[in-house]
Structure 1
Amino acid sequence: MIDAHHHLWDLSAVHYPWLAAKGATRFFGDPTPIQRNYLLSEFRKDAAPHGISGSVHIQVGAQDALAEATWVQGVSDAAADWPMAQVVFCDLTAPDLARQLDQFQALSTVRGVRQIVGRAPGEDARTGTNALLDDPAFLAGLREVGARGLSFDLQLIPELMEKTAQVLAKAEETPVALCHAGSPHDRSPDGLRSWSGQLRALADLPQVVCKLSGLGMFQHNWREADFRPIIETCLDQFGASRCMFGSNFPVDSLYSDYSTLFAAHRNLVPEPDRGDVFGATVQRFYQL
Structure 2
Amino acid sequence: MRKTWSGRRRSRGCGGSVRSSAGTPIPSTRTQRAPTEDPSLRTNFGRLAALGLSFDLQIYPHQMEQAAVLARAFPDVRIILDHAGMPISRTEPSLATWREQMRHLARCPNVACKISGIGAQDHHWTAHSIRPVVLGAIEAFGPDRSMFAGNFPVDSLYSTFSRLYSAFSELTADFSADERARLFSGTATETYRLGSAGRPGPVPSG
Q: Which residue of 2 aligns with 1:280?
A: 186
Q: Which residue of 2 aligns with 1:149?
A: 52
Paired with 1:184 and 1:124, the residues of 2 have a C-alpha distance of 20
Q: Which residue of 1 aligns with 2:35?
A: 132
Q: SS at 1:201's partner residue?
A: helix
Give the counterpart letter for 2:141 in structure 1: F
Deviation at 1:146, TM superposition (A): 1.5
CA root-mean-square deviation? 2.3
Contact residue 11 and residue 192 of structure 2 kept, 8 A: no
Give the counterpart letter for 1:259 in structure 2: S
Contact residue 117 and residue 155 of structure 1 kept, 8 A: no
Q: Which residue of 2 aligns with 1:114?
A: 15
Q: Where does structure 2 lack aligned partners over 5 or more consecutive residues?
A: 195-206
Deviation at 1:223, TM superposition (A): 1.1
Deviation at 1:264, TM superposition (A): 0.8
Q: Which residue of 1 aligns with 2:152?
A: 249
After superposition, where does 1:79-94 map in structure 2 within 5 Å?
Answer: 89=6
Which has the higher Rg, Structure 1 or Structure 2? 1
Paired with 1:152 and 1:181, the residues of 2 have a C-alpha distance of 15
After superposition, where does 1:194-273 map in structure 2 within 5 Å?
Answer: 194-269=97-172, 270-272=174-176, 273=179
TM-score by length of 1: 0.58
Deviation at 1:123, TM superposition (A): 4.9
Assess, with a 3 A threshold, how the Cα gap between structure 1 residues 130 and 250 changes in structure 2: closer, same or farther.
farther
Assess, with a 3 A threshold, how the Cα gap between structure 1 residues 244 and 194 changes in structure 2: closer, same or farther.
same
Contact residue 13 and residue 54 of structure 2 kept, 8 A: yes
Paired with 2:17 and 2:86, the residues of 1 have a C-alpha distance of 12
Q: Where does structure 1 lack aligned partners over 5 or more consecutive residues?
A: 1-64, 66-87, 91-103
Give the counterpart letter for 2:14 in structure 1: V
Deviation at 1:147, TM superposition (A): 2.2
Q: Which residue of 2 aligns with 1:180?
A: 83
Deviation at 1:135, TM superposition (A): 0.4
Give the counterpart letter for 1:254 in structure 2: L
Deviation at 1:156, TM superposition (A): 0.6
Paired with 2:82 and 2:13, the residues of 1 have a C-alpha distance of 13
Paired residues, what number?
181
Paired with 2:69 and 2:60, the residues of 1 have a C-alpha distance of 15
Deviation at 1:247, TM superposition (A): 0.8
Q: Which residue of 2 aligns with 1:46?
A: none
Assess, with a 3 A threshold, how the Cα gap between structure 1 residues 161 and 117 changes in structure 2: closer, same or farther.
farther
Assess, with a 3 A threshold, how the Cα gap between structure 1 residues 117 and 232 changes in structure 2: closer, same or farther.
farther
Assess, with a 3 A threshold, how the Cα gap between structure 1 residues 110 and 223 changes in structure 2: closer, same or farther.
closer
Contact residue 124 and residue 130 of structure 1 kept, 8 A: no
Contact residue 117 and residue 156 of structure 1 kept, 8 A: no
| Structure 1 runs (4+) greater than 4 angstroms displaced | none
Q: Which residue of 1 aligns with 2:200?
A: none
Deviation at 1:164, TM superposition (A): 1.6
